[in-house]
Amino acid sequence: MAGLFSREVWNPRERPYSSDNNREAAYVELALRAAIAAFTTPRTSAANPSAQTPVPTGFIGEAFKCYAPPVDTPYILAIAPGIGFVGGAADAASSIGGVIGVDDTDTFKPLVLSRPEFIQIVNNPTTLNRIDLIEVRYRRELVTPSPMQTLDTDTGIFVPDAVRKSLTWDCAGQQGTVVSPAPSTACIGYKVGIPAVSPTYPAVTPGYIPLAWFRILPGQPGFTDPQQITEERRLLAPYGVYTIAMTISVDSTVPGAPGVTLVEFGAPPGVEVPTFTHAEPSATSREVTCVLRSLPLGVTTNANRFTSNVQVLSTTTTAFPVVVGRTITVGAVTPPSVDAIITLNFQALILTTAGLSLTTALGVFGNPTVYRITITYW
């Protein structure tokens, strides 16, 4: 196999082999995968500007996101179709299935789900809590058996034969259920946890990528709360950086969460809508708290990799709202929930140009006040 963007060449009057066609397809796919990896891989660290090696696993948009089921199918978990990639897979393969030129030499392996996948959740008849796991591995398999003709080299005659015509990565329908601690074997593995007072997380099967953990309460009719599902995917974004932006309206006369309305929300597909609350701890400041659950950050969550900006538009030509970040924290709800939450807390006041002095006056805020929030994850 030559380098990226290589092409197989068919020379004039050359008798081509089947391997020529296979290599051509392998070249095209290799270039596409390498370009995606280069475009989406973050730097190694603050001190090291090199791209991360191995290339981290990630998913495009909502691909492979586990959703709470519709209300009429409470014991069904849905997985969204799309494309992801497993990074750092070491099993370079050539002549897959013995077919010359069908090669997979890159370590960035496609994870493909061509249609929504639905998983029947195992009931929890005990009186204890349980944590289950959905995990996935890539599929690289020869499929589509077809009647073709192959050359009989003894006679020189083409004879009927059954051969497989496709190499697929599609995980659709490739699901299986095991009970922890047994390892998953199907491409999409549903690993049922062990009920306990303080249930433990089922271990991720070697070679698999965790998609989500979810808790099943005793006697619970399936999912009653989307927060039972905790995202473990990592979003693919240009160089690993993406933005979550929103516009909220805060009514200071309505305390707590009901006083905050999400007006607009801009984020990559698959990012859940945050929750909010607000308070006025002093006569001159207002606090807004934004809680983000199930962000597609992968299994590592680091508050130091968030930057946020909040602004309130001036209500008059003499009012200058000042909104600053108060805290950005990462926390985890105690079991049986396994959700990590990111909390951003802002505080605001308004400086006014009264005469030649600046004064603080919370009352200068309009009511409701519109906040524009931009959160960058990097």
Partner 1 sequence: MNRPFDRELYNTLERALSPDNNVAASYADLALREVLKGLFNKRMNTTLAIAQSPPAPGFLGEGLQVRGTGPASYAIQITPGIGFFGDTATASAIGGITGVDDLSAWKPLVLSAPEIIALAPNATAFTRLDLIEVRTSRALADNTARQVLTPGTGIFAAANVDKTLTWALDGLQGQVITPAASTTAIGYKVGIAAGVPVEPPVTLGYVPLGYVLSSPGGPPILLADIQDRRTVLRPYGQYHVNLAVTVNPGVTATLNRFDGPPGLAVPVVSTVVAGNRHQLTVAFSGAGVATDSLRVTAVAQIESTSDTIYPLVTVRSITVPSANSLTVVFQSILPTFVGQVMPQTLTAHPNPTIFRVMVSYW
Q: Site residues for partner 1, window 198-257 (CB under 8 A)? A: 236-238, 242-243, 245, 247
Query: How many residues contact partner 1, by CB under 8 A?
Result: 83
Pick 250 or 267: Cβ nearer partner 1: 267
Smallest gap from Cβ 49 to partner 1, in A, equals 21
Pick 178 or 305: Cβ nearer partner 1: 305
The 128-147 contact track toward partner 1, x by CB under 8 A, reads --------------x-----
Among 44, 105, 166, 282, which residue interacts with partner 1 (rule: CB under 8 A)? 166
- Considering only 18-26, 206-214, 283-291, 334-342, which stretch makes contact with partner 1 by CB under 8 A? 18-26
Smallest gap from Cβ 217 to partner 1, in A, equals 24
Pick 60 or 328: Cβ nearer partner 1: 60
Sign for the CA dihedral angle at 63, 3, 56, 131 comes to: positive
Q: What part of residues 44-83 is at the interface with partner 1 (CB under 8 A)?
A: 60-63, 65, 80, 82-83
309 counts as binding partner 1 under rule CB under 8 A = yes
Q: What part of residues 277-296 is at the interface with partner 1 (CB under 8 A)?
A: none
The 322-361 contact track toward partner 1, x by CB under 8 A, reads x----------------------------x-x--xxx---
